[in-house]
Chain A
């Protein structure tokens, strides 16, 4: 069974500094997608970044980038120049194909990030 592990329940970072959130996953599939979602206090789930497993190049979105290590099954999120608005719960998610042909997400338990002024 696929699992997603986020080993850091809580982290903090000073404003303008860089922080890395860890995520590991377990799968026997070769083609899949990985995601990071952000959940601020408003509860809304917001997509941060997406990575396709068949792509070697790490995805980047402005201040957010990933370090995707397929062989090690690791998918960490780096936030550069941290801002107060980055304070949120961050979830790593693995997407697998379901029997019905659609796709299902498996989520990690989340990392609560606090950016300090």
Chain B
């Protein structure tokens, strides 16, 4: 059972570089999410996608873009990385609606350092 798979697990960037974090889920979930985790701040929502073809901003969207490529995949792009984007990034997915348990399942995280 793969669940939610994130790549890469670790990444070091220089300020101004771009990169894309990949996320895929094999649970046939409608919704997918991207969070960042910083010390003392819990998890904060960057972007989410209720279903294929839709994306919405979360709490901290500035500096990021997302693409819901299909039902399985939801990528997060940093166009011009900044040191403030040094963080651990988590992708999650969930099913929602009548009868759903509304539980979010998380990937293993990506530790990103921007120098």
Q: What residues of chain A have their CB less than 8 Å away from a CB belonging to chain B?
A: 4, 9, 33, 35, 42-45, 47, 50, 91, 95, 98-110
Contact = CB atoms under 8 A, between A and B. Distances in A.
Contacts of B90: 45
B99 interface: no
B36 to A, nearest CB: 11
Contacts of B94: 102-103
B106 A102 contact: no
B39 to A, nearest CB: 9
Given A43-B88, A43-B108, A47-B103, 17 more contacts: A35-B103, A50-B103, A98-B56, A99-B56, A101-B96, A102-B30, A102-B48, A102-B96, A103-B94, A103-B102, A104-B48, A105-B33, A105-B45, A107-B44, A108-B42, A109-B41, A109-B42
Interface string B89-112: 010101010000111111011000
Contacts of B96: 101-103
Contacts of A103: 31, 94, 96, 102
Interface string B1-35: 00000000000000000000000000000110100
Among A45, A47, A100, residue most surrounded by chain B Cβ atoms (within 10 Å): A45
B102 to A, nearest CB: 5
B20 to A, nearest CB: 20
